[in-house]
Structure 1
Amino acid sequence: MAERRMISKSLLMDNKFLSLSNDTKALYIYLLSFADDDGIVKRSMMIDSVLRVDDENYSALEKNGLIIPDHNDQIKVITDWNSLQSIRKDIYRQTTYLEVRSQLFMRTDYSYTKDPNDKNVFSSADDWIKNGRPKDITDFKPLIQQHLNDRNGIRNDDRNGVRNLSIDQYSLDQRSIDQDSTAQQRAEKGNKDQHRATTTQQRSSNGGMGEILLSDHRSTSTKYNNATTENGVNSGEDNGVNQDAENNFKLDPERTQEIASLFDSLNQSFDVNLSVDDERLRMLFDNLLNQYKIGYIENGLIELSESAGSQNKGNVKSLVVNHLSETVKSLLTN
């Protein structure tokens, strides 16, 4: 947990805050200071005794909408956490209270709510955080509509064959959504690329013709990272990593966010700073995302880190490459 938190003048001037008693104001500031990077904090006997506060003070904060209670009365969520705090991606650590966070939703002012039917909700908190916690979204309407569709059991790809839209695609620095990228078109493109690669001919040094035979095991997934290229991949497979993927393949923005999120989880779990540009780990995560939901892989990283103990960067990479796949599989079978 961070040693410093921000307290803005806008908070101190807010009527919801000013209407509180002085001891309740002090309690709120203490909760801000001790909350984790997702704005979730556990009630502390130490704080209660130092400030001489009780249930009435917590109830006052809840009544004014400054905190959200959990069914576990000891856990509190700072409602306006994301507007009050700015935490860099490279130092952000997700909460340990994942079950609490899974019940939260994001409003268009980036505050939390537990009401999924709030007209201003545009995403679950988990999805917003997975997509990098963007605060520069310029058009919430499509995201609000997608949230409503998901709540009603209607997915974008069920309605018109278009993949679901990720939050960051409505950010200020993102391009507009490519509505032509349907699952069928991606499959057809993959088949054409594979056919073209397997029939490519190359002249040998003595002037003869030699046919280049490529493995049929190359990855056909387009849900990867962003539209960049990968080079220098070795052939063969290594503990779930498809090493024979075609060079220079096009990467998908939705998969970009998933893999970036997994790198964040890896770095947080092992307390390292491995780069998202690490090709071997990217290939591993892409392969696993074709088989498992991202939450299962994140749990696998946590389990692997807890069983491994202290590791340096090189050992962490080797450990993850060689054992993450089997760890995820074992978690699902236990």
Structure 2
Amino acid sequence: MAQRRMFSKRITNSARFIKMPLSSQALYFHLGLHADDDGVVEAFPIMRQVGAVEDDLRILVTKGFVVVLNDDLVTYITNWNENNKIRADRKVDSIYKKLLLQMVPEANVKLPKPRADTGKVTGRPMDNQWTAQDRLGKDRLGKDSNIYSSSKDEPHIDLKEFKEIISYLNEKAGTKYRASGTKTQRLIKARFNNGFNIEDFKKVIDTKIAEWGGTDMAKYLRPETLFGTKFESYLNQEVKVSKTNKGGNSYGGLEF
């Protein structure tokens, strides 16, 4: 695993980043410094080392800078590939790669390639990222630790629930996506694992159709965009009406 990390000024100089408390900004840098080559890091020991508190991580989650993958606070840095350009022949897969792809299916995970000098793929990391993946403590951050992720007991999702969500999207947006698509189902399942429900999906669809319908952004009315890592921010945003949707029209199930 690489021993040097970088940060994009486009991210750290943005108003969204600078408006955060300095403690949250500092935690972001420390998480980035300790992350593995896929941008995954065990946040809890880092928080203990630097004196960060729950709210510092919670703010990073709310602002979309990180995604917490499980109750042990294993955390993925969403802008990892913009911050760091790691050569494929030097890249070491995260020990949490399977968990990352389960919880964030749209994550752009680079595949390692054989090294030019040895012809072998780099082996597993032998530093502080090589830790047991078992649960390290149920209530390490108190009773509210599950605010970041759902229980490890994943909810059962029937095909009819996938169909209900995708049929709603197709009906409202005039699209023809399939509920049987593997990537689409992984995205929906990941959001269910985060504790969201069918009504949340419908609200996100209505909100983004109201905002993007009839504009150049309409092409992003797709599962990959709507049900990805920005799902919660879409769910909580105020309804914005696109200019082409003004004038008393009903679009996406919302009346204006």
TM-score over 0.5 (shorter chain): no
TM-score (norm 1): 0.33
Q: Which has the higher contact order (CA 8 A, sep 6+)?
A: 2
Work out which of the two has the higher radius of gyration on C-alpha atoms and give 1 or 2: 1
Normalised to the residue count of structure 2, the TM-score between the two structures is 0.42
